[in-house]
Amino acid sequence: MYSFDYQRPTDRAAATAAMKGDARYLAGGQSLVQAMKLRLSSSERLVDLSGVAELKGIKVDASNVVIGSMTTHAAVAASAEVQRAIPALAELAGGIADQMVRNMGTLGGSIANADPAACYPAALLGLGATVTTNQRSIPAERFFTGLYETALQPGELITAVSFPIPQKAAYVKFKQPASRFALVGVFVSQGAGGVKVAVTGAKSTVFRVKAIEDALTASFTPEAAKAVKVLSTDINGDMHGSAEYRAAMISVMASRAVSAALSR
Ligand SMILES: Cc1cc2nc3c(=O)[nH]c(=O)nc-3n(C[C@H](O)[C@H](O)[C@H](O)COP(=O)(O)OP(=O)(O)OC[C@H]3O[C@@H](n4cnc5c(N)ncnc54)[C@H](O)[C@@H]3O)c2cc1C
């Protein structure tokens, strides 16, 4: 690990003010610290957000679940309000990694990191969420821009994410057994904005599958999702699964997500 300065502000204004030069926010450290240990990443200064209480917490109203960026995966999974409003979101958070990672890892860190196999990006796209920063609101559709890339500008701070409450939703992932990241994960929702199907783990960034959305709009059934053949042309392949395998798994995971959504 290269050496760095460390600051732990206790409010948002001090956190953003500390982001000068080559500084980075530190949330749960579950991705950033590993990358720094391996010298894949370095920063002059880490601005630790763990003391900024206003970034933590969950609010639920009639139409949205709003989660502060420093809310841990464990807190989302355990929240009775999230379990009631969007059970798929609580289950997704509870299925990330292991208990130790869930106790430290945060929503803001996960989406800022934009790992191509991470779970939360599928929920953001699959529910039509909005990311709030200290500067603006960014629709999920415009937030994830590429492999580990987002629309965030240097120093921009994610403060919260607002998830519209759907009528039905579920997330199903085919796990990498060691890490539990998604080899293919599919978030399906049916709500005021229609049917959304978002996939993680299969391309350089999360994406929606219009063909499955169209099939589910016509008939919201597992069979309709499974019948769609997803082309493998631009799907990732690696030692864990070929592009053809992952493409086939998208329809299978979508069909299982529809079954789960219908069974609630
Ligand atoms: C063994 C293991 C297994 C895992 N399995 C899964 C899995 O199954 N599914 C899954 O989705 N994830 C998985 N993860 C990743 C985990 O969810 C991490 O919590 C997440 O990637 C990073 O969150 P963090 O809070 O630790 O962020 P950090 O590592 O602290 O930060 C990550 C990046 O986000 C930036 N950042 C953090 N907060 C903000 C903010 N508020 N505003 C702007 N930028 C910010 C940081 O500067 C940094 O660049 C796994 C991780 C490990 C170690």
The residues, ordered by sequence, that sit 6+ positions from 178 with a Cβ below 8 Å of its Cβ are none
* CA-closest residue to ligand 1 atom 21: 110
Pairing of strands 168-175, 158-164: unpaired
Q: Which atom of ligand 1 is nearest to the CA of 175?
A: 8
Mutate to test the pocket of ligand 1, among 110, 150, 199 (most ligand atoms within 8 A of CB): 110
Percent of the chain with pLDDT over 90: 95
- What is the Cα–Cα distance from 127 to 112, expressed in whole angstroms? 18
* CA-closest residue to ligand 1 atom 4: 97
pLDDT at 33: 94
* CA-closest residue to ligand 1 atom 19: 105
What are the pLDDT digits (tens) for 165-222? 999 999 999 998 888 899 999 999 999 989 999 999 999 999 999 999 999 999 999 9
* Cα 107 to ligand 1 centroid, rounded to whole Å: 8
Reported pTM: 0.96
Mutate to test the pocket of ligand 1, among 6, 25, 37, 69 (most ligand atoms within 8 A of CB): 25
Where in the chain are the domains? 5-164, 168-262
Please determine whether the domains at 5-164 and 168-262 fall in the same fold group of CATH. Answer: no
pLDDT at 1: 84
- What is the Cα–Cα distance from 208 to 65, expressed in whole angstroms? 21
The CA-atom distances, in angstroms, between 74 and each of 79, 103, 171, 175 are 9, 5, 17, 19
CB neighbour burial string for 179-205, b if at least 16 within 10 angstroms, e if fewer: eebbbbbbbbbbbeeebbbbbbbbbeb
Residues with CB under 6 A from ligand 1: 24-32, 49, 69, 96-97, 101, 104-106, 108-110, 112-113, 115, 118-120, 152, 157-158, 179-181
In CATH, the architecture of 5-164 is 2-Layer Sandwich (3.30)
pLDDT at 83: 98
* Cα 196 to ligand 1 centroid, rounded to whole Å: 24
* Cα 101 to ligand 1 centroid, rounded to whole Å: 9
- What is the Cα–Cα distance from 119 to 194, expressed in whole angstroms? 21
Q: Which CATH number fits domain 168-262: 3.40.50.1820, 3.90.25.10, 3.30.390.50, 3.40.140.10?
A: 3.30.390.50
Pairing of strands 23-26, 45-48: parallel
Residues of the chain with pLDDT under 70: none
Phi and psi for 121 in degrees, rounded to 5?
A: -55, -35
Burial level of 31, CB count in 10 A (0-12/13-18/19+)? buried
- Residue matched to tokens 């998830």: 163
- How does DSSP assign 143-206, residue by residue? HEEETTEESPPTT--EEEEEEEPPSEEEEEEEE-TTT--EEEEEEEEEETTEEEEEEESSSSS-
- What is the Cα–Cα distance from 251 to 134, expressed in whole angstroms? 38
* Cα 124 to ligand 1 centroid, rounded to whole Å: 15
- Given a contact cutoff of 8 angstroms between Cβ atoms, the answer to whether 127 and 86 are in contact is yes
